[in-house]
Structure 1
Amino acid sequence: MNQIKKILLIARDKNLAEIIYFCLEGWGYEVDILKENPNLAEIKKKEPDLIILDFPFSHKEGLSLCREIKEGFVTSSLPLIVLIDKKQLRKHLLNLKHGIDDYLLKPPDPLDLRVRIEMALKRTQYSFYTNSLTNLPGGKIIEEILKEKITKREPFSFAHADIDNFKYFNDKYGYLKGDRVITQTAYILYQTVKKYGNPKDFIGHIGGDDFVFITSPDKEKIIASEFIYEFERLMPLHYSPEDRVCGYIEVEDRTNQLRKVPLMSISIAIVNNQQREFKNVVQINDALTELKSYLKKIPGSKFMVERRKLNQGKKQRRPSFSLIQNREVLDKKKFPPLGQLLLNRGKITPYLLEELLDIHFKRAIPLGEILKDRGVIADEELQKFLSLQRKNS
């Protein structure tokens, strides 16, 4: 059963407050009303899920209250919808920067108000369960989608991707470079699923170096193989040239022994409900855990699809398809990324490239467009580098 959301209405206009209160209660919300200059402590005590503020912006108290709400540790994530007079809108439009999430002209249309509230609550719920680094949905949302797939008996494939040897990379190169590996992995997965998957396919980030995607069984292999290819093509560039040539890094293990650790690879475990019925998420997790344990014994990037078949009364693992590609094979196929080409030709510094790549990964904007917008390279010269990139492919 869904928990009833609580809305806090802060209003000076008694008549308007009564109308909004009547609407909110009718829509199934729990409603509290505060009047006359409430302070942050009073707002905290109400523990609302959303705040509607009807406060004249001609008074500094209104702006101050907005700022306090958005700067408060407990209240900063609460969606804040402001009701404003049309006459005040143009004059105080710039004041919306004080942390307001949305606004409506007074008196608000009930349908508009209801839609804005629902959208704000959904955004908040989504952001609460998303990874702060990649902005991908996390465990709670992943679980809900899987439950829905199981309930509706829809055919689905659930894949878990794990970056091998990421911890050792993070230990040697530091957390900032480690974060770039995570954001680029998220971007690669997003682009791969978008290109080769279905329109409604799902991508999630459990945390750390663990990612998931949900697709249809007919798309699982192409997504996994193309994801591996792009990962293997790009991830070595996060290492120093010396480590790339060696193909490993030297690090101390938990026993303080120096060991050679291979460059990062990706392992993808996939289960689907084509030949095996899953009754709950726990069964899916158990199947993935067993498969991941098996994959850890195999070096390099690979994926495997789990299918269960009865053989003389016993269940045996029979991978329908597995992929293991070593770096030598991939090296023959890969072409240099645009950023690496510009770096090699001295057109861009490593520091600027890292800054632009952060924007590229997080906002999904093509690197070429970012380079042009920043004035780093003209369009004509960019086209020459793109042509050179295609020749090397």
Structure 2
Amino acid sequence: MSEHKLSTSTPMSRAVRAGVVGVGAMGENHARVYSELPGVTLAGISDHDADVAERVAEEYGTDSVPLETLLERCDVVTVAVPTPAHHEVVSRCLEADVHVLVEKPIAQTVEQGRELARTAHERGLVLQVGHIERFNPAVRTMADLIDDLEVISLEAERLGPPIDRTAPGNVVFDLMVHDVDIVGSLLGASPDSVAAMGTPDGRYATATMEYDDVVATLTASRVTQKKVRKLSVTARECFVEVDFLEQSVLIHRDSYPEYVNDEGQNRYRHESVVERPRIDNGEPLRHELESFVESVRSGTEPEVTPEDGIEALETVLAIDSLVDADRSSQDHERAQDPSQDREVEI
């Protein structure tokens, strides 16, 4: 191990040198936050698009350099390249003894994820998976509440309009993966069974998962003309609404019904009580990178481990295979009946 590199067994006290590999929309935000964090120096960025890399480097006062050079000057990096490149790029970073935060999903296949986890553990490095919603203040508040609830069901909606990009997205991997991870972390379990279906174009999908006695229903969409990021939890004690965008939590409880006397007239009243827990709002990405850097500094396990990322990936792959089977079934039906060959409207 190079002298300046850090093992998780050796806590650090000096400034952490950070880099970003892949500075598309998400990667650029990582560069921005690293440049703002106290005790962190943005040591450089790397991207296959030289023009983009130069622009981002100039914006945040750092250098655009090849990956090999970046790894020589960094203690930690964010890997925000397309998913098919995760395994190769993260492997190179770990083999250079650099701690890694890799954007979700951890890899393209479960075996690739397991291989990355093994490499990180063997080399004593932090490998954190970028499931950013874990660091949303509203989700953290929900995590504090859920242990005291007898949960019956959860329902997550991650909806929005089409995005402006050339490559078509798959909402199961792009969007639903967030809620798969959140539900799994809140319940502390993997699903016992999964059912799913979606549209042939991959822009809308819904999944139902069973966790012992709890049912979770997830919906992801790129065809909904309103941006929605919500989680609802039905428990025997209350109903909880979590809004990721507003970073708010509402707890609905029923009051006992009663008759009240109003100027000599008896009236029936049954009101709902709504609680609003205090939430320390903040940017989830900043919380995520602070947590990552602190794990490196202290030599402790990251808040979102490689195993967490692998578990989410396994579930997402299962959902996607079911959605793909549903797509194939729809294609077969259209082939049998040409009149059904029309664009799906949601």
Give the shorter-chain TM-score range.
under 0.3
Question: What TM-score results when the alignment is normalised by the length of structure 2?
Answer: 0.26
Computing the radius of gyration over CA atoms, which structure comes out larger, 1 or 2? Answer: 1
